[in-house]
A and B are shown apart, each in its own frame.
Chain A
């Protein structure tokens, strides 16, 4: 193959993208606005919390210039609730749903309205405020696994009851991974696997396998698929042909 990189994002790329997510930071020192590629940051003005990219937040945290306020879902009550949802008998087959989408902002009437920035319809993983303290408390966002790992390792003292949170996260990861594995059993060459609410790192982990299985099944079934298509094409042609014959037959009957 010409490209040495596998298709899709690798786990380290997902981890890198996770560091671009905004988290809420409580500054301890003043800092003027910084011109970053992703746009200017808000000036830091203690003690008012501001959203900053995770990588900058971790840098400031290491320098003891700021504290990270963990996302609204990164605490014991929220995670316990999500874990209960994941393990409850009625909902054991599905993943806990991702954060809700914002209400639609676009209007379909105007021409080329999709070009305006305020009419962009966002969905996972581009939702705003999914990792800040304003995030939805009862849903795991796209980067939940990576972000919680980074926050807990580098800013563990900012998270309340960090050990219990760690334990819950590990349980969640195992429960969800076993669900993904269960999904492997129903893989087909054409069928899909419903994984709404799955995280970026989880997808990156199983992408190679799932892609390989579906591709292999497609290759094995290709001859059958082609035969089916030919048959359908033939039937369509014959269908038109025979229907005209039938009309004639009907005429004969009437006569």
Chain B
């Protein structure tokens, strides 16, 4: 489970992102998950479930080796997106893939063993964070661009941008306030 704290809003929001799941069993009365209230969920039916629910059902074993369902990597971490990240991390609009992209990635990596994905996410984060540092120190142009670039950042990156920008602003503020008195 998430170790980052029970009350961490970001962790909660990360866990509420939808993951594609395939049911291995027919479950009576669970039809309301797919909008068919009162019906059963059929074996082999595909549903988008929140990460916390899917994880619970995929990890718990009932009767030997069977689980309720199997999870797949979400679209945000699909081959298409990963290839785009490999080609040029800076141009991918992560927020459109998932608002908590890196959080989702880290959580999925706990469940799936994907060495390559760790590499790619690390590289992506590194390359994009340098871009963020540059933009945060020189943010005047961003406003005139209409904040379009900001809309492509996921939540982690936004927090990074904010703290980076605040560092520079706080220093400037101190210089200004200490010049007055």
- Say whether, besides A11-B170, A223-B118, A212 and B126 are in contact (CB < 8 Å): no
A80 within 8 A of B: no
Cα distance, A209 to B4, chains bound together (Å):
19
Does B159 contact A212, Cβ atoms closer than 8 Å?
yes
Q: Which of A69-77, A111-119, A198-206, A237-245 lies at the binding interface?
A: A198-206
- The winner among B115, B122, B160, B171 for most chain A CB atoms within 10 A is B171
Does A208 contact B130, Cβ atoms closer than 8 Å?
no
Residues of A within 8 A of B39 (CB): none
Residues of A within 8 A of B173 (CB): 11-12
Does B106 contact A12, Cβ atoms closer than 8 Å?
no
Q: Which of B53-61, B142-150, B161-169 lies at the binding interface?
A: B161-169
Majority DSSP secondary structure for residues of B touching A: helix
B 67-105 contacts with A by CB, 8 A: 102-103, 105
Does B163 contact A220, Cβ atoms closer than 8 Å?
no
Inter-chain CB contacts under 8 Å: number: 101
Residues of B within 8 A of A150 (CB): 178
Majority DSSP secondary structure for residues of A touching B: helix
A34 within 8 A of B: no
| Nearest CB of A to B13, in Å | 15
B21 within 8 A of A: no
B121 within 8 A of A: yes
Does B167 contact A220, Cβ atoms closer than 8 Å?
no
A47 within 8 A of B: no
| Interface, chain A (partner B; CB < 8 A) | 6, 10-12, 14-15, 146, 149-150, 153, 181, 184-185, 187, 189, 201, 204-209, 211-213, 216-217, 219-224, 227
| Interface, chain B (partner A; CB < 8 A) | 4, 102-103, 105-106, 109-110, 113, 115, 118, 121-122, 125-126, 129-130, 132-134, 136-137, 156, 159-160, 163-164, 166-168, 170-171, 173-175, 177-179
